[in-house]
Amino acid sequence: MRRGALALFLGLAACAPQPLAQPPSQPLLIEGGVVEGRIVRAAGLELALPAPPLAVARSGETLLAAYPFQLLIYQGGFIRENLPLPGVPTFVRAKPNPLVGLEDRLFAPGLGTLPYRAKDALRTPEGVYWLDEEGVYLERRQLYQGRYTFLSASERYAFAFGQEALRLPDGLRIPLPARVKAAVVLDELYVLNPEGLYRLSLEGLRLGFLPGDFEGLESDGGFLYTLQAGRLIILQRNLEQALHSQRALGRAP
């Protein structure tokens, strides 16, 4: 009996995500809130993950928590899938469709691995857009040359961001404030740089600006979410602060 119980325990332990050597010390921003350690707290969602994730992303009811060699997919706060990953995740995307970046390939739930060595990627209805040091690609085809650092998308457009924004699929180039480090695409464009948060039209016309030292940018379509000195800031789309801003987990008032 003791041997059987020990074997069962070891089997369950092998399925659990292994803790990171150095878990993230800062809250991880997701759509609607934050993940701090293994605790997820966001609009309409509160749960405890089995271990601090290496990368995490949320889209509506779906939450993806990525660990070395393992991806957990939650739906409505309950685990739906536990999938093996062929490597250690470098990034994870929940929207438009789930996608995980690995060191030398991509992993798409339901599709398997894709042979693209990408520094960022998006899985859209048109296919997988991805970036390397040479340019922007759709699947195996290079669309544009240039140095771009990250991607963001709405239901209508995807954008590649570098010194300028490249709108896909039509190729419109939009000038940007210097050193953009995060962006959200809705029916307008929101870009974050060290000076603050800019609201732009999809053609690049400046519509508003909120100064501040913010970190990260996410949206659920209704509100914008960012961090400032560890505090979760919730903004309306006109960049006015919403009444229900709250502090990130574990931060003193």
Please tell me the distance from the alpha carbon of residue 252 to that of residue 153, in angstroms, as a whole number.
34
β-pairing, 33-36 vs 182-185, is unpaired
Determine contact, residues 36/68, Cβ cutoff 8 Å.
no
Confidence of residue 242 (pLDDT cuts 50, 70, 90): confident
**Residues 16-36, mean pLDDT to the nearest whole number:** 74
**What pLDDT does residue 244 have?**
63
Q: Whose structure tokens read 């709405």? A: 154
**Residues 223-245, mean pLDDT to the nearest whole number:** 91
**Residues 175-198, mean pLDDT to the nearest whole number:** 96
Share of the chain above pLDDT 70, in %: 86
Determine contact, residues 29/216, Cβ cutoff 8 Å.
yes
Global pTM reads 0.87
- CATH number for the region 181-253 comes to 2.40.10.480
Amino acid at 217: L
**What pLDDT does residue 246 have?**
56
Amino acid at 163: Q
Q: How far is CA 206 from CA 42, 174, 189, 226, 238, in A?
A: 30, 11, 9, 20, 12
Please tell me the distance from the alpha carbon of residue 11 to that of residue 4, in angstroms, as a whole number.
11
Nearest CA to 31 out of 220, 166, 227 is that of 220
**Residues 165-178, mean pLDDT to the nearest whole number:** 94
